[in-house]
Amino acid sequence: MRSSTIVVLDNGASTIKAGIINNERDEDIQDKVRIIPNAVVRSKGDKSTYIGHEMERCRDYSALHYRLPFEKGYLIDWDAQKAVWDGLFSSEVLGISAAESSLLITEPYFNLPNIQEVYDQFVFEEYEFQSYYRCTPASVIPFGQLFSPGAAPPAECTLVVDSGFSFTHVVPIIDRQIQWYAVKRLDVGGKLLTNQLKEVASYRQWNMMDETYIMNHAKESCCYVSTNFLEDLEICRSNPKRNNITQEYVLPNFSISRNGRIRQPEDELTPTDQVLVMENERFSIPELLFRPDDIGLEQSGLSATIAASIMLLPSDLQGMFWANIGLIGGNTKFKGFRQRLFSELRSLAPSEFEVNILECDSPLTEAFHSGCAFVKDTNFSDLVVTRAEYQESGANASRRKFRDWQISEDNSKESEKGKAKQGLDDDDMGQLSRKPSRTKVRTGNTSTRRR
């Protein structure tokens, strides 16, 4: 029996994107997505604690202390996460009855089995949802509009670049199934970029190490991806104060409820205004996505990571992946991100292949809207785990129904065992395509450090 109310929950490490699908009333939910911080925040200004959706009541964002449920990409603080979810499901936000609802929730890539079991326990034992489905954000993207704009049929071979808060993942998909053996992870996300900007600004100008909220806003307002890094760097070096790159970010003044902003030419500063001058920080911070070795990370940049992922896929399908690269995640909103990525991928791709990079109107909520399309699919009710199934089989019910990297790894091992029994010699086995283990999923450092 299909639940009349389905909660779609894109549970990101920085923000939660949530909404409700009602099967009895096919409503347009495009404007009804709720975006709330996934954190418990303590404000030193007004000495108050804000949980998730309560952040909109905060009036002093200086020196906020964040307690994040996610650490290094995995959900580890379940007390904080439960507090955020309690507020989300309450009458103040979604106002649902969990026992009468079904749930679609996203989880991190390569999520650990013991963490997945806690997901199951919270959904069925703590909240008592009627049924639920758990998957990664990229799993639902083929059901959305990113790769099938308008009435066009969806592409069968796609590659999703998901650049989020903790990491950036490159996820190839064939016929709506993730090819886990070719998934790559780049250890650069929005959190690292914000922290790097805090350090640079604190070294050069003001001490901003405690101002995570303010510096994140400055990053989103001022930063862009340079299409010619060395040229922009020379412009800032030759004339630091008078060039078309330098911007002045006026720091917020919460005593008069004024937020931070980019100073416009006609703006006059008051004696109390404090200005953060953004010079080469504007493009050198996002540059870490393409050159992580600039701060000592021994990894290839995003473009080389994408190329390495495609090289692991069947050779006769690689051209389709080059032609269907989709961007999601908050970091892809940087101005110039697509242009820089295209120029680098064009030089890495074989000349006979077309390179096409697709963008969406809202990279931050694309996974949520694709999830809404997924729950409307006629097969969705057959894929969920019901509360009765969980009570009978426990976490095994989820393992049987939810396809993830562990199932892919197990299938690969079984395939290799079967071929070994057929008498394949060592040379033949060496030619088989094997999925690398999780510990070897990083791409090698093929780039050289910029001098």
Question: What pLDDT shows up at residue 428?
Answer: 45
Kindly report the backbone phi and psi dihedral angles of residue 138, in degrees, each rounded to the nearest multiple of 5, phi listed first: -65, -25
Kindly report the backbone phi and psi dihedral angles of residue 83, in degrees, each rounded to the nearest multiple of 5, phi listed first: -65, -40
- Which three-class secondary structure state does DSSP give residue 139? helix
Rounded percentage of the chain residues whose pLDDT exceeds 70: 87
Tokens of 227: 């299409």
Start-to-end CA span in the chain (Å) = 63
At 392-448, the pLDDT tens digits run 999 999 999 997 777 666 665 555 555 444 544 444 434 433 444 433 344 444 444
Using the Cα atoms of residue 361, residue 367, residue 369 and residue 370 in order, give the sign of their dihedral.
Answer: positive
At 2-53, the pLDDT tens digits run 567 999 999 999 999 999 998 655 455 544 899 999 999 999 878 899 999 9
Amino acid code (one letter) for 382:
D
Question: What pLDDT shows up at residue 211?
Answer: 93
Report pTM: 0.87
Confidence of residue 73 (pLDDT cuts 50, 70, 90): very high
Residue 35, strand partner residues? 17
Average pLDDT rounded to a whole number, residues 89-104: 94
| Cβ atoms within 10 Å, residue 213 | 21
Rounded to whole angstroms, the Cα distance separating 66 from 13 reads 12
Residue 358, strand partner residues? 326
At 296-337, the pLDDT tens digits run 999 999 999 999 999 999 999 999 999 999 999 999 999 999
